[in-house]
């Protein structure tokens, strides 16, 4: 799911649904999962980037282990947003050196990642420039629309602990991205990404609480070094109507990824529906809280037991 909400969606739903279904012996299941999502935002560029993605996944779930392989197909109107293990990042794509130069300028001016630097810069070939408000202006993409498959992602959740009452669980989470997409079109970074972390869930008074922390190692672009951040998320969910429906909210963020730029931070709201024993549906709406996040995104997903 573009925008880095994908890993949050996978972690939240895999663990929360696993918690709901546990308590009795869970059979091994094979599932087809899918998600469509639209997102838009200026990030720290002057022009907005609109993205649409269709993610197809195949998942296997057992008593102690969930494994999911996802393959995204992406359509977007600029190459400035790259997709990694945790979703989208405004790297500048093929012009990522521009973001590196902007980052260095912010650092030299003592900036804290806000758009308040009082200087202007222009390149000799007029492909991009840095304005007073610190918006990075890239090559004109008014007629640019590209589509391609993104990098496949593999996620695994291992249950480390499950209480006798079924109200508490602890999970070990891993993820890896295979660098198969073309980085010059903004559909990948051309490098391996991977991460490990821990999630905990607790059922209290009809509510489900989840906390998640991950350590990520991001591959660098040729002219832009990416930090290896921590991600963190807090989620709360509640099922109702005899468990057929579920609503959840989440807060998600990262430590610094690109020097001198605020890292992604989002709040989200989701709704799930267990239509049958073999079909579940979900929808989501997310608002970005930082300059490295999309302004908003909305999505619709499904899971079919095979």
- The pTM for the full model equals 0.81
pLDDT confidence tier of residue 130, bands split at 50, 70 and 90: very low
Distance (Å, rounded) from C-alpha 280 to C-alpha 187?
29
CA atoms within 13 A on the CB side of 155: 29
Q: Are 16 and 210 in contact (CB under 8 A)?
A: yes
Residue 38 CA to its chain's centroid (Å): 13
Bigger pLDDT: 217 vs 24: 217
Q: What is the reported pLDDT for 66?
A: 93
Give me the chain's average pLDDT, please. 82
Q: pLDDT tens, 15-73?
A: 555 554 444 445 578 999 999 999 999 998 888 899 999 999 999 988 899 999 999 99
Q: What is the reported pLDDT for 283?
A: 95
Q: Above 70 in pLDDT, residue 103? A: yes
The β-bridge partners of 72 are 55
Distance (Å, rounded) from C-alpha 265 to C-alpha 4?
9
In what side-by-side order are the strands of the sheet with 129-130? 121-122, 129-130, 136-137
Q: What is the reported pLDDT for 91?
A: 87
């Amino acid at each position: 799911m573009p925008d880095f909400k994908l890993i949050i969606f996978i972690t939240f739903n895999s663990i929360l649904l696993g918690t709901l279904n546990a308590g009795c012996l869970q059979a091994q299941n094979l599932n087809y999962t899918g998600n469509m999502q639209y997102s838009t935002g200026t990030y720290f560029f002057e022009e907005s980037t609109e993205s649409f993605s269709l993610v197809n996944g195949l998942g296997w779930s057992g008593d102690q282990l969930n494994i999911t392989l996802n393959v995204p197909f992406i359509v977007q109107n600029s190459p400035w947003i790259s997709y990694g293990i945790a979703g989208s990042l405004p790297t500048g794509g093929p012009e990522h050196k521009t973001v590196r130069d902007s980052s260095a300028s912010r650092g030299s001016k003592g900036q804290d990642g806000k758009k308040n630097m009082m200087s202007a810069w222009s390149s000799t070939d007029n492909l991009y420039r840095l304005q007073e408000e610190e918006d990075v202006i890239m090559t004109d993409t008014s007629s640019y629309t590209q589509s391609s498959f993104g990098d496949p992602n593999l996620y695994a959740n291992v249950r480390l602990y499950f209480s006798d009452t079924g109200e508490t669980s602890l999970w070990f989470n891993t993820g890896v991205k295979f660098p198969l997409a073309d980085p010059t079109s903004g559909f990948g970074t051309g490098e391996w990404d991977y991460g490990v972390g821990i999630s905990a869930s607790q059922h209290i008074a009809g509510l489900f609480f989840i906390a998640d922390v991950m350590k990520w190692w991001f591959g660098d672009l040729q002219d832009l070094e990416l930090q290896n951040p921590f991600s963190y998320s807090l989620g709360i969910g509640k099922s109702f109507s005899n468990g057929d429906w579920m609503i959840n909210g989440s807060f998600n963020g990262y430590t610094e990824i690109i020097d001198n730029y605020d890292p992604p931070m989002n709040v989200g709201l989701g709704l799930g529906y267990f239509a049958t024993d073999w079909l579940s549906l979900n929808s989501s709406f997310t608002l970005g809280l930082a300059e490295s996040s999309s302004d908003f995104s909305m999505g619709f997903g499904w899971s079919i037991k095979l």
